[in-house]
Each structure stands twice: as structure tokens, then as C-alpha cells.
Structure 1
Amino acid sequence: MKAFKITTLALAAALMAAPGIAQEMQLPQVDQQDASPFDFAESKKKAERAEKMAADGSGSRVVGGELAAEGAWPWQVGLMIAGYPVSPDAHFCGGSLILDQWVLTAAHCIHHQDKNGKYFDLHPSQISILVGTNTISPNSGDNVPVAGIFRNPNYNPDGWDSDVALIKLARKPNANYRTIKVPDANFGDVLDQAGVPTVVTGWGLVNGGTHPDKMYQAEIQMMSRDMCNEALMKARARPASQAFVQAASIFKLSKNDMQKAWEELVKRAPLPLTENMVCSGSFEGGKTSCQGDSGGPLVVPLQDGSYIQAGIVSWGLSAGPNKTCAEDAIFSAYTKVSQFLPWLEQTISQN
């Protein structure tokens, strides 16, 4: 059961020092006619939430990346709508195999909101997991049924904190695949350092907005969480300050009282990126993970040629309220996997 864990002592010296090129990631799309239990996994739904954080999740896949070689990233899996033909239209999220029958993904992929605003978890019978292929097609890989879905109990859909879930497969896949290891808490802090090169993978939009059935890959790099939070808070402050000034005018607050109230409001505002998240992207914009499969892996290359999973694609954002994620996204947020190792071990051992 502990085979999926890597410790600091084992691999801290193996990190590669070369900087990565950034790319962008976010949420998946499902055909509206097929979307009933999958609404929250659609980019439109996520974009509505993301606007509150100056984020635009209009895209849903790896944009600007390169085609992955056949057999590359053998731990990458696709979450599919059960009962539909295997195709890009049935694919709604990504994930990674951390054990033969266990998939790591994002909680928002399996925790959705109905038309009445009530949240619910998907039933195992509603999804299947495509394993062992870089191509989404009926004759590729193994589309494995699901035995159980386990969402982290601390997941907060309003801010996507603790955005992590496990899926147990009904059987071992009949396909060529490998599992990916995850770090312990200490090694996770090593992976979290700004400048650490990373890779995101997934199926989806390429230049021109097409939905290919082939897997793409893109290099990005870790960025400082403090820097990302500072940029996010500034982006939030612009529209918030306009509304605040209007409210202060209505209540006829003095300039002094208005300044005090604003400072108190800013002081109490929660930071968008919590300790349970890592930040990656590009200072150039348009090269973060805004377009990758939600729930998919963010991996770090090691000197011995292996990889370790540092993050789970959670949410993305753009530099301006009128820009799409693909146009100028500067960074994205990933669930920090090492924060949840105790929960992963407990869930797997008990199920």
C-alpha cells in the first residue's frame, strides 16, 4: 500500500534544475445533451465561479502543447461518461493511476451541483476510467468500470480547497500502464519551490480550438505561491474597490472611515491559494495550465528519468477580466498532493 509514496531522502537529490516552459490548464467540456450529472465539470460552470477570482475558465484542455509520444505518460487516465461510446465527447476529466486499482483526481470532477443548487457526488455507475492509451477511441486502451468514489471530506467547492478525490477501479486494467508515485510532506515542500520544472498532460483543445483524440503534453514551472496570491488579490481588488466606493457613497462614509473600512475588508479577505495548493505558470501569460484536463497530474521530472506527481489540475485564471484563459493566463492552481498523503493512505487501506 505504501508503494505509491516517495520520501524526501530517496529523491530530493534527483530533482532536475532546468527551468520549464509554461502552459495553461483548467476544466473539461461535455456535450450539453449528455451533461446532466456532469454540469460542474463543464468549463461554463467553472468560469462562472472563476470570475469571482478574476479567472476565466473558458478553455478546457492543453493548448499550445505538443503531441505526446505513444506510450508516454502511462499513468494518465481519462474519466469517461459510462454508457457512451469512448470518444472525446464522453471524456470529462483526467486522473492518474497511483496504484493498480486506484485513480487520483480532483474532487470537483466527481462532486457536482444539480439545478437546485444542491451538491452531490457521482455514483460509480455513472463513470468509467480509460486506461493505457494516448488516444481516446473505442478500440484503444481499457475502459474500466468503477467500484467506488471517495471525495476528501474537507473539499470546499466555493474556493476549491482540498480539491482531491480517489476512484477505485472494479478490476485491474487489461492494458499497458504504469503507476505514478506521490511525495511525502517533506519532499512535497521541495517540489513546491519556484522554478521547479513540471509537465502537464491531457486530451483536448489545441491551437484553433479543436478537440483531438490524442494526448498532448506541455512544460510549465512552479511559481511562488505568495507571488500568485499577491497578483490574485490585486486582480480581485479592482472590481471590489469600485463596488466598495459606490457603497460608501450611498452610506455617506467619510474618506477616513472609508479607508479604515477598506483596510479591514482587505485584511479579512482569505487568500485564494491555500497551503493545500501549488501555483504554476508563466510570466509571459498564455502559457500556464489553464487548458488542461481537470483532475489530471502535474508531474516533476527527476534525474533518473522517472517522474513524481506534485499536483492535481484544479483551477486556472487569467490576467484580466476581459481575457480568456488561453489568451493571457499567467498561472494556475493545483492541489498539492503531498498535503493529502495521510488521507490517501487511510482511504486506500480502509477500502
Structure 2
Amino acid sequence: MMGKKDGGKTSQDIKKTTSDSSTEAPKLVVAKPNEAEDKPYQVCKSIGDFPGHCRHIRYCLINEFRTNYTLVSYYNCPIEDKYVGVCCPDDRDTRPKTVAVKPLKSDEESEAEEARILASNTNRVDPIKRPSPLGPAGKNRGCGVAAIEGAEAPKGNGGVSDPGEYPWMAAIVNAKDDEQFCGGVVLDQSHVLTAAHCLIRKRQADIAVVLGEYDLTKPDETRSQKFKVVSIRRHERFDMHTYENDIAIFTLDRPAVFNTYVWPVCLPEPSDMKNMVNKTAVVTGWGTMSYGGPAATVLMEVGIPLWSNSECQKRYSQPILKTAVCAGGYEGGKDSCQGDSGGPLMIQRQDGRWANIGVVSYGIKCGAPMQPGVYTKVTEYLDWIQKNV
């Protein structure tokens, strides 16, 4: 990751702050049937900005959530800082095409329904207006909202990120020695999005995924979670010579525990990509600080402008397809680099949520002036992602 050092703030300062903290991050899990009470918890804004209360998911299986699993992640909320809930509308009768909650036939069926909703966090574009977050740690926290204040706005100049600022960041490491070689993002409790080229010359057993990571030299600093990979879905038309369709999904060996340091990113909508040329996106990773240079030990971030594909094409001899998006600093010095592959290119929406619009794919060296990097355009693969999670 290339970018200027954060003025006045060092990685040592941040690491000390984190390690000295005595506040334990809440670990949110799905309540078992005998733990889930059918009652309202804290007030929140639900679908269409209707007033609602946080409830256990089993007691809010309304049509919108059954038919569009993405909505569940947008309206996740914590219950007693222990369980994952959903912001359920108070008055279902005032909204069209919504049915009252009906109990399922058995606890087993109810658990299966909850698991299906939580594990199937696919992106289907919904026409319903999303809520404005109540703040980084708001009680209606959903995808793309960090519990850390620093994530409200990108620094842009590049440098060291804050612990927990990008809780959807995944470190792809060698299973044997934990050496980081690629990045990725959390889609839901069981799936991580990354680049297909990260799998070249790698066997499934060689790969592990670490979530909640920040400082690679201090594995337990943010209570990170390490996973084996039980399934790999590499795009069937990935071309290792051109890096076309450079996208893949890992399935983890167990559900991740969502907390301050582990949380899903939002997938983008096609409308997120309109009029984006010259707008700033943010890249994060543990990649090298310069081409062929040393890798970062703490998670870095940098803001870079998005390019039009036509301008990007002038810098490359190979075709820049509609399935790609380009980004990079015009003056140089700001770019993703070796080791950042598979990581996210992100924008922050008007509603405050972060969406992953690109997957770090390839480029010519790193940080050269007027030489953008090329990223897999996530909006072109929403159907593929939906089919593979």
C-alpha cells in the first residue's frame, strides 16, 4: 500500500492505544431458540425509514427479508450486546406487500431459516430507501458501518488506518506460517470475497483467512479470528494471462463472530457507479510500501481518484473491459501494490455505509504518475456472487 505517512500519528501510537484498551468487543451470535424472546428491544429505523424495534430474526421473517437477504445485513442490530438481531418494523399493516410474522413449524426449521438468511447475504438491488446510520456505533448498524469513529471519513492522504476502522478487511495468509499474501473482504459470516489470481499455484489446504486483523506482528491485538477454507469458488472464466474475471469467493470452516473488529462490507448497487470519475475511493491492505519494497505490518489506507475506462485504456496495451474499474493518483505515490491483491476498492455512500466497488487485480508497478491500477468491477459480478454464497 503506497501513500504518505499519517502526519503526527505513528503505528506505534495506534498499537499502544489498542493494546492498552480494556474494553472487550461484544461478540454477536444468533440466539438459540431457548434464548430468543419474542419482544422488542431498542428503537431503530426499519425498512422505508418506518419506526421499528430490534428483534431476534426468528420473530421478524417478513416477506422483504425472506425474498431479499441483502436487507437483513442493512438492518442488523445488536441485542443486549450479545445477539445479532434485525430492525423489525412496528406497524407492518401500513406497508404494502408485507405479511405478519408467522411461527415456523419447529425450532429446527426456525434455526434453519435464520441460518439461511444470515449465510445468504447476497446482493439483490432493493428499491426501498435505506436508513441513515445513527452513527458509527448506532443501534441499527448494518453492513459497511464500522463501530470506530475514524471510519466516518477517509483520510485520503494515505497512511496507517485505525484499529477497527475497516472491520470487513480480511488477511489471506499461508496456513503454515501466517504470512500474508493477499487481501479480501467479509461478505457475511461464512464468505470472503477476493481475487482469483491469489489462488494461482495455491492449494486450498495452503490458505487460511484471518478476520479482525490489524497489526500482523501482534496476532491477538484485536482478538482476530483465523479460519480454514473449506470451499473456493474461482470465477469459471478467469484468465490467468489477462486477469479477466479476476474474482473468487472463499467459504470459511465456521461462521465468523461479528464484533467491533469483524463486520461485513456492503456490496455495491449499479447506481453507485454513476458519475464516479474523479471521485475518491479508498484502498486498504498490508501490501508493500513501494514496488519491490517491504510490506506494511499494520493495515494501511489510501484515497485515490477513479478513472474513466477510456482514459485508463490509454495507459494499457491490453483491453480495459467493462468488467474493470481503474483508480490511481495522478501525481503518483498513491496506489495499491504487491500484497494488496484481492483487497477492496471502496466508496462511502451518502447514507454513510461503505461499499466494495472493486477488487485489487493488476497494474504496472506501483504508484507511477498517471498510471492507474486495474480493479475487478464488483457491480458486474453481483449475479455471480449471489449464486456462489
Please state which band the TM-score falls in when normalised by the shorter chain. Answer: 0.5 to 0.7
3-state SS of the aligned residue for 2:205?
helix
The code of the aligned residue for 1:108 comes to H
Select the residue among 364, 373, 381 that pairs with 1:332. 373
The code of the aligned residue for 1:342 comes to D
Report the alpha carbon displacement of residue 10 of structure 1 after superposing the two structures with TM. 5.7
TM normalised by structure 1 equals 0.63
Counterpart CA distance in 2 for 1:217 and 1:4 is 26
Structure with the larger RCO, 1 or 2 (CA within 8 Å, 6+ apart): 1
**1:294 aligned partner:** 341
Counterpart CA distance in 2 for 1:11 and 1:310 is 20
Does the 8 Å contact 2:345/2:358 carry over to 1? Answer: yes
Q: 1:326 to 1:227 in 2, by over 3 A?
A: closer
Select the residue among 40, 45, 66 that pairs with 2:159. 66
Counterpart CA distance in 2 for 1:12 and 1:187 is 14
Report the alpha carbon displacement of residue 299 of structure 1 after superposing the two structures with TM. 0.6
Once the two structures are superposed, residues 159-213 of structure 1 have per-residue CA deviations (whole angstroms, 9 ceiling, x without a partner) of 11100000000012246311011124x32542x7312221000113337943332
Counterpart CA distance in 1 for 2:200 and 2:249 is 12
3-state SS of the aligned residue for 2:173?
strand
**1:181 aligned partner:** 266
Q: 1:71 to 1:333 in 2, by over 3 A?
A: same
Counterpart CA distance in 2 for 1:21 and 1:291 is 22
Q: 1:160 to 1:145 in 2, by over 3 A?
A: same
Identity %: 29
Q: 1:11 to 1:165 in 2, by over 3 A?
A: farther
Select the residue among 188, 196, 200 that pairs with 1:99. 188
Select the residue among 200, 203, 210 that pairs with 2:283. 200
Does the 8 Å contact 1:182/1:309 carry over to 2? Answer: yes
**2:308 aligned partner:** 224
3-state SS of the aligned residue for 1:179?
coil
Does the 8 Å contact 1:108/1:163 carry over to 2? Answer: yes
Select the residue among 217, 220, 224 that pairs with 1:139. 220
Counterpart CA distance in 2 for 1:107 and 1:272 is 19
Report the alpha carbon displacement of residue 98 of structure 1 after superposing the two structures with TM. 0.8
Structure 1: segments with no counterpart, 5+ residues: 15-19, 23-63, 113-121, 234-270, 318-323
The code of the aligned residue for 2:264 comes to T
Alignment of 1:1-351 (within 5 A): 1-2=69-70, 3-5=121-123, 7=125, 9=127, 65-84=158-177, 86=178, 90-112=179-201, 122-136=202-216, 137-140=218-221, 141-174=224-257, 176=259, 177-184=262-269, 186-190=270-274, 193-206=276-289, 209-233=293-317, 271-290=318-337, 293-317=340-364, 324-328=365-369, 330-348=371-389
Q: 1:99 to 1:162 in 2, by over 3 A?
A: same
Counterpart CA distance in 2 for 1:297 and 1:12 is 23
Report the alpha carbon displacement of residue 135 of structure 1 after superposing the two structures with TM. 1.6
Report the alpha carbon displacement of residue 306 of structure 1 after superposing the two structures with TM. 1.4
The code of the aligned residue for 1:68 comes to S
Q: 1:180 to 1:290 in 2, by over 3 A?
A: same
Worse-matched range after superposition: 175-184 or 149-158: 175-184
The code of the aligned residue for 1:280 comes to A
TM normalised by structure 2 equals 0.57
Counterpart CA distance in 2 for 1:207 and 1:296 is 17
Report the alpha carbon displacement of residue 303 of structure 1 after superposing the two structures with TM. 2.4
Report the alpha carbon displacement of residue 124 of structure 1 after superposing the two structures with TM. 2.5
Does the 8 Å contact 1:284/1:330 carry over to 2? Answer: no
Instruction: Let me know the Cα RMSD of the aligned residues.
Output: 2.8
Counterpart CA distance in 2 for 1:12 and 1:288 is 32
Count of matched residue positions in the alignment of Structure 1 and Structure 2: 245
